[in-house]
Amino acid sequence: NAGVTQTPKFQVLKTGQSMTLQCAQDMNHNSMYWYRQDPGMGLRLIYYSASEGTTDKGEVPNGYNVSRLNKREFSLRLESAAPSQTSVYFCASLHSVWQETQYFGPGTRLLVL
């Protein structure tokens, strides 16, 4: 039982390049979330998927898109990376919206030059 896994662990992009951050969970959780973490800002929600087949914007969705590929996988795509998207990205999952414990992956560190 690996919990929440994220790939890649670290990535360097040039401005304008695109990339997809992958997230998978093996806990049969229904809800999944993408956050970014910046110094002094805590974690800010980018997008979430309350259940398979649904996605919704969070607090800071601009410049990102998501895909809930199946119940296990939730990907985050940067179509045209900008230096402001340099951050640490965390994926989290939740068994159901009626429960409260979110389980986080180890994070992806992204540097946009």
Binding site for other proteins (CB under 8 A): 4, 31, 33, 35, 40-45, 48, 50, 56, 58, 90, 92, 94, 96-107
Distance CA 110, CA 39 (A): 14
What's the min distance (Å) between Cβ of 69 and other proteins?
19
Q: What percent of the chain is helix, strand and coil (3-state, nearest 5)?
A: 5, 50, 45
Q: Is the peptide bond before 8 cis (omega within 30 degrees of 0)?
A: yes
Residue 89 in tokens: 């990205």
Of residues 14 and 62, the one with the C-beta less far from other proteins: 62
Cβ proximity to other proteins: between 26 and 56 the closer is 56
Q: Nearer Cβ to other proteins, position 18 or 97? A: 97
